[in-house]
Structure 1
Amino acid sequence: MKQYTVAILGATGAVGTQMIQCLAEQDFPVGELRLLASARSAGKKVETPFGEVTIAEAGPDAFAGCDIVLGAVEDDLAKELLPHAVEAGAVVVDNSHAFRLDPDVPLVVPEINAEDISWHKGIISNPNCATIIGLVPTWPLHKIAGVTRMIVSTYQAASGAGAPGMAELEAQIGAMGRGEEIPEPKAFAAPLVSNLIPQIGGFKYEGYTSEEMKLQNEGRKIMHLPELRVNCTCVRVPVLRSHSESITLEFERDITLDEAREALASAPGVKLVDDREAENAHDRFPMPIDTSDQDLIWVGRLRRDISNPDAARGITFWCCGDQIRKGAATNAVQIAKLLTE
């Protein structure tokens, strides 16, 4: 099997670190692994499943000889550096928002639109974490009945703000447990412990935030549904990792709950957890505590949308998925692996 030189840009962050683990878990044919980060991390040695790797400073000249580059940095750095990776001959799978809505860049969830990889021009975008977690279970239902509208509330973990967000929540929990004053928040707009923050991203359109508009704009591109309508509210919750979403779908055609359950139970990337009679709550419905550090989107609480005048065309469900893994690193590595096949 051909071996590939793989670079991770942003290798020391939460997503970059997880990408290393995902490459090993998916038996990716790595011949050489390069870890790229800021100047303050350059020179540090990291033990990986592919051997010890010395972190190099990220820069325009860091991509020579790379076959695949996995991007795990913020938008501005992605825009600055990743075109240099393409110029050096690499194919980029980028986790930032920088290229997602570019019409020349595929936006891919492998369970939904893997075929879009074929028309890339050097860069393939990884969707937003909440978009991935919501669309993976929506897609098999869309194939049955044709989704036209989504009403979504997201309950997004501290991991959505990366390692700093998780560290901040842990510090606040510790301070509260010791009876100390909660440290001044830096990763979030307000203290997250014992709190909910109903704004993620800046306000963009009619009072909706940038994070809320991603589900509609990215969902339209991924599912090839330019008329898809989405009403989304994004909330930061005091959970360390694994996002949750409450989703109501409206369809073109009738769909029964039995059809929905059967489709979800057999869908790739999905685990159906929907047993109201189970004695143990962990077997009744998905929860973040159960879905962290794994790659499936767990789905449960399936029921009719009783607010829909045509109840046969409305379904509501609850889902949870690990933001760092399937919401970011795993999805990127799955795309990269498709490039090798």
Structure 2
Amino acid sequence: MPNIAIVGATGAVGQEFLKILAERQFPVEELRLLATKRSSGSLINWQGREYEVQETTYDSFKGIDIALFAGGSASTEYAPAAVQSGAVVIDNSSAYRLDSKVPLVVPEVNPEDVTWHQGIIANPNCSTIIMAVALKPLEDLSRIKRIVVSTYQAVSGAGKEGIAELEDQVRTWCQGETITQYNTFPYQIAFNLIPRIDVFQDGDYTKEEWKMVKETQKIFHRDDLRVTATCVRVPVFRSHCESINIETENKLTLEQVKTALAKATGVILKDDPSQDIYPMPKDSSDRDEVIVGRIREDFTIENGLNLWIAGDQIRKGAATNAIQIAELLL
């Protein structure tokens, strides 16, 4: 059984790593919980045993087989040291995703890419993962020429701090007070939408939007795949939603699309407008499947489709996908 290290064990994704390792009965010989100096010394109970969190150092990975990095600056600082110690790093940050020497893997889409890793495997952006799982069955029916995606991203995407900020602002509003405090987001997020996630880059697209473009192309091995994205933060605690419009090379019938999605691994088809049934964040929270619905033909182009998806950002969009990669390694 492998020895496992979790870097960022006290954060939202780190805590989800522990939960999912237990749920999936992932074999663990030794578990090493690592975090910042500030969090070192804290105790975490897992599987009936208490573990003390250690400060992450360059020497933290001796004897470790798989190192799960929850994200952040620790990845660039400590991932090379983990590899030098003999561990395979599965990294949740954006640091290595577009490195040509590093596989970027969604197990339902491109599991074969795990085989050419050189010590580091990158976990894609949460919104990219959720979209890729939903679109893979359609790409298999007919090559996708173009993707237009708008995301509705929960505050959990900003970690524990994002969740706490929304909670505090809603509490303030309910008490009849004016909301004046916001640190995690550039504006008040309670009862508001913020059409900016991460920093602005080329063409006034945000880094989050460019992630969806470039990561999707890499995962599908399709440099010719045209992708454009608008990423929006919404006042929802957990689970992202996405409105996706695609154009395929060949005409796909709605029956073909729904049949493929219903059979796809990691996908739940939830699409019955007559009964008011469609995906919502509350349905996808705390589960690993991507839920797909509101499937319609786009009548403005010859081979166009619209769909609406929901997926848990912390689970499938982060921790579960990383642990599925670890399962591929085993």
TM-score, normalization by structure 1? 0.95
The secondary structure found in structure 2 opposite 1:124 is strand
- What CA deviation, in whole Å up to 9, does each residue of 1:286-311 have, x standing for no partner? 00011111101000000001221x1x
Q: What letter is aligned with 2:57?
A: G
Do 1:242 and 1:291's aligned partners in 2 also have CA atoms closer than 8 Å?
Answer: yes
Give 1:10's aligned amino acid. Answer: G
1:29 and 1:246 map into 2 onto residues whose CA distance is: 37
Who is 2:215 aligned against?
218
SS of equivalent residue, structure 2 residue 108: helix
Structure 1 counterpart of 2:56: 58
Supply the AA of the counterpart residue of 2:14: G
1:299 corresponds to 2:292: yes
Residue type of the partner of 2:61?
A: F
**1:33 aligns with one of 31, 34, 52:** 31
The correspondence of residues 114-193 of structure 1 with structure 2, limited to 5 A, is: 114-193=111-190
| CA spacing shift, 1:172–1:32, aligned 2, 3 Å | same
Q: RMSD of the TM alignment (CA)?
A: 0.9
Q: CA deviation at 1:179?
A: 1.0
Per the TM alignment, residue 52 of structure 1 is displaced from its structure 2 partner at its CA by: 1.3
Q: Where do 5+ consecutive residues of structure 2 fail to align? A: none
Structure 2 distance, partners of 1:180, 1:139, is 47
Where does 1:301-320 land on structure 2 (aligned, <5 Å)? 301-308=294-301, 310=302, 313-320=303-310
**Letter in structure 1 aligned against 2:15:** T
Query: Contact 1:272–1:299 (CA<8 Å) still a contact in 2?
Result: yes
State the number of aligned residues.
330
Structure 2 CA distance, aligned partners of 1:63 and 1:79? 15
Residue 170 of structure 2 aligns with an amino acid whose one-letter code is I
CA distance in structure 1 between the aligned counterparts of 2:300 and 2:169, rounded to whole angstroms? 39
Letter of the structure 2 residue corresponding to residue 301 of structure 1: R
Q: Secondary structure at the match of 1:203?
A: coil
Matched, 1:68 2:58: no
Q: Which amino acid aligns with 1:296?
A: E
Deviates more, 1:76-85 or 1:239-248: 76-85
Q: Determine the structure 1 residue equivalent to 2:237.
A: 240
Which of 83, 101, 112 is the aligned partner of 2:80?
83
SS of structure 2 residue aligned to 1:316: strand
Rounded Cα–Cα distance in structure 1 between residues aligned with 2:197 and 2:93: 16
Identify which of 305, 313, 326 aligns with 1:336. Answer: 326
Deviations 1:226-264 (A, max 9, x none): 111111100000000100000001111111110000000
TM-score under structure 2 normalisation?
Answer: 0.99
Work out the CA distance in 2 between the residues paired with 1:203 and 1:317. 27
The answer for the alignment partner of 1:113 in structure 2 is 110
- Hey, what's the Cα distance between the residues in 2 that align with 1:248 and 1:205? 23
CA distance in 2, matches of 1:215, 1:256: 26
Identity %: 51
**Aligned-residue offset at 1:183:** 4.3
Local SS of the residue matching 1:27:
coil
Aligned-residue offset at 1:50: 6.1
CA–CA distance in structure 1, aligned partners of residues 146 and 48 of structure 2: 45
